[in-house]
Chains A and B, each alone.
Chain A
């Protein structure tokens, strides 16, 4: 009898359940690797263009942040640089989700109890989950390497790149394994894992943007960049990732061996005995989802503060002659002020906040599939009122998040580099002006929820991902200056350039949002509830 008993069948079970998920991640990662090569070939076909481009990068902190300052005018280096570490992030993201799915989520659902009553060692579920997650990362890395070699890139560097992609997955599989032991439930475990991932990415970005190298060495995502594929292939950096993953995994096993099934590090506290204010759909939704909103608000405040903290740095950059800054100015129609340039940061936050309504609609769907909504529907509360309660909390929550972003950013920016009386109100108003666009993304999810409940998750994630990818933030970085008119943030007025009377695009956005919401609710009312 060993600690491995039962792992085999559990791996098979996990693979069976990953059948519909893992291939998409692998495809996404490989496709992104190839897309970057195609992108560089299309836009920087000649050496001359590549050199120009390198100059642009060197003179711009935002672009440096994308993949580091040490780029070379070669196809392979530029293509990896251009991906901005996205392959590492995607691989890590998949690993976190997969480990939590096969450990803590099983526990929460009560299936672990059934499984562990069989001839299955206490460690088997975790081992199986980590094996499967690592297998997915490894496959993704290997497929990327092979695909890039197929695209004509040099084999050694391609394997180093693929290995770095796999290693990022491995580290975060270890991290998720620890989170799954420490957290109170699967949701918190996922949140811990993804927060660590976001922090890792931001640290790496800040390190590259500011030229301070040390935060990069602290970030597991940074370790991927530090492998420097196609440049000098520092294989030993892979060793760091492997060792870190192994240490995390050892910690996870330690915790697991001392932990009750279903328990986290901290015991569950008692709740309140009464709920006098819990009387309608809105108060119910608020009670259910307020902690998510609080976490988001904390995250938004943190990132807004960090972004505003960079504004003195941005001022330095502005004083230097730079092609990209000029490009952004002219193409987004901005005037030359620092405030106009900082508007860009508010937009980044707005695209991130647009994810909040998406997650809330997914929660609405989860209420339905879990059967919890059924209990509520059995009361005189109608289905529409139930859904409307969630939507009100979602809508106001989105607005509140942008208000936090505008206030924190505006205040800090004004204190560091601007003027409190003019800049704070402008940033605040500007942040609020993005809210209808975020609502619009959420409204697409509502329509999907009403019309295609089964595909709701897929449609919702796609809607947000497309918005962000086609948007004004990713757009300029990927050559689509000004972003695509297909995404709602395109119509958000820039408070630093637009005349205040320009209310038409906002009104149009609101109208589209209302139409989508109405359609979604109408479908919801007429479809089966399950």
Chain B
């Protein structure tokens, strides 16, 4: 099966700022793909390039087999988009906007529209000026989800939604994919959302891709925190590859270890004689924090542990 989105070496500069600097992104057809990165990393910019609203300076981007800039209109027939910052026409009602956007996309499913209005608990008669932030977000979400687009591009779609509505959103996305071959590109800062919904994720930073893969694969890349009580003071532990932030107090050691070095390190520990062992499994959060941190390769808790 071909990829729904494939982007290589994408570059986009705004005057002096390089918003995208050789970004790669591959989203397979039918998958829900998490798109993560710190603020200003270039997620929205990438999405705007994919929508043909910005023209890339270099690199290639393919979307549903077409060129996002040249074939924009044709491609938009097959996708639906929810921007992160939803602004609507102040004097139109929510229902009017949903119909308008639906019509612009080439029609929407009436039954589905009614069902989504019900589930998202939105009054379509209110003027957009009077909607709360979350309700404005719902208008855009309903308009997108009520279409039968094969690709959904969602830029922080749940910002402003309450937890109940967020759950409704997750359900709708899950149902949507069960139905067929719907691909979803989901940019988000909510890790729980990404963990429950996404098959694969791409993490970008400063306009470059720093990590991409399945969640299980990524977990693999993270470090396990270990606290061990040993029979004798450890020797040579610090020199082992994959050990980070070692700290020792008598016979007790704390350190983080890369998953692929785990085997060797544990062997070295048992050689010294293990009396007690606490290992904390890697969390995605730590992985993200490590990548999000601007200061360097290791971050968050790892920095703390290194003291």
Residues of A within 8 A of B (CB): 1, 5-6, 9-10, 13, 16-17, 109-111, 113-122, 258, 260-263, 267-270
Contacts and interface: CB of A to CB of B under 8 A. Distances in A.
Contact of B91 (A5, A17, A114): A17
A118 B104 contact: yes
A504 to B, nearest CB: 47
Contacts of B85: 110
Given A117-B79, A118-B81, 4 more contacts: A9-B104, A110-B87, A261-B48, A263-B14
A119 B80 CA distance: 9
Interface of B: 14-16, 48, 51-55, 72-74, 76-77, 79-81, 83, 85-89, 91-92, 100-101, 103-106, 140, 153
A168 B61 CA distance: 44
Contact of A119 (B87, B89, B104, B153): B104
Q: Taking chain A's interface residues, is the majority helix, strand, or loop, or is none over half, making it mixed?
A: loop
A432 to B, nearest CB: 41
A113 B77 CA distance: 15
A116 B77 CA distance: 11
A120 B104 contact: yes
Contact of A118 (B48, B55, B87, B101): B101
22 contacts: A9-B100, A9-B103, A17-B91, A17-B92, A113-B48, A113-B53, A114-B83, A116-B52, A117-B79, A117-B80, A118-B76, A118-B81, A119-B73, A119-B76, A119-B104, A119-B105, A119-B106, A120-B76, A260-B55, A267-B14, A268-B14, A270-B16
Contact of A1 (B51, B54, B74, B86): B74
B73 A117 contact: no
A122 B103 CA distance: 17
A117 B80 CA distance: 7
Given A9-B103, A268-B14, A122 B72 contact: yes
A114 B72 contact: no
Contacts of A10: 104
A268 B14 CA distance: 8
B53 A111 contact: no
Nearest to A269: B15
Contacts of B48: 113, 261
A262 B106 CA distance: 25
Contact of B89 (A111, A113, A116, A268): A111
Top 7 A-B residue pairs of the complex, sorted by shortest distance between their CB atoms: A267-B15, A117-B81, A118-B104, A261-B53, A110-B87, A260-B54, A118-B105
Nearest to A5: B73
A121 B53 CA distance: 11
B152 to A, nearest CB: 11
A120 B83 CA distance: 16
B15 A268 contact: yes
A114 B15 CA distance: 24
Nearest to B87: A110
B15 A116 contact: no
Nearest to B13: A267
Nearest to A10: B104
B204 to A, nearest CB: 20
Contact of B92 (A16, A261, A262): A16
Contacts of A119: 73, 76-77, 104-106
Given A6-B73, A9-B100, A260-B55, A113 B15 contact: no
B231 to A, nearest CB: 57
A267 B12 CA distance: 13
A116 B53 CA distance: 8
A121 B71 CA distance: 9
Nearest to B71: A1
A120 B73 contact: yes
Nearest to B74: A1
Given A119-B77, A122-B72, A268-B15, A110 B104 contact: no
A113 B83 contact: yes
Contacts of A16: 92
B79 A122 contact: no
Contacts of B106: 118-119
Most buried by A among B73, B91, B106: B73
Contacts of A113: 48, 51, 53, 81, 83
Contacts of A260: 53-55
Contacts of B14: 263, 267-268
Nearest to A20: B91
A27 to B, nearest CB: 20
A10 B103 CA distance: 10
Contacts of A115: 101, 104
A10 B92 CA distance: 14
A260 B89 CA distance: 22
Contacts of A262: 53
A496 to B, nearest CB: 50
Contacts of A267: 14-16
A110 B89 CA distance: 10
A120 B100 CA distance: 12
A268 B292 CA distance: 27
Contacts of A110: 83, 85-87
A269 B14 CA distance: 9
Nearest to A124: B73
Given A9-B100, A268-B15, A114 B105 contact: no
B55 A114 contact: no
B92 A114 contact: no
A157 to B, nearest CB: 40
B89 A17 contact: yes
Contacts of A268: 14-15
Contacts of A118: 76, 81, 101, 104-106
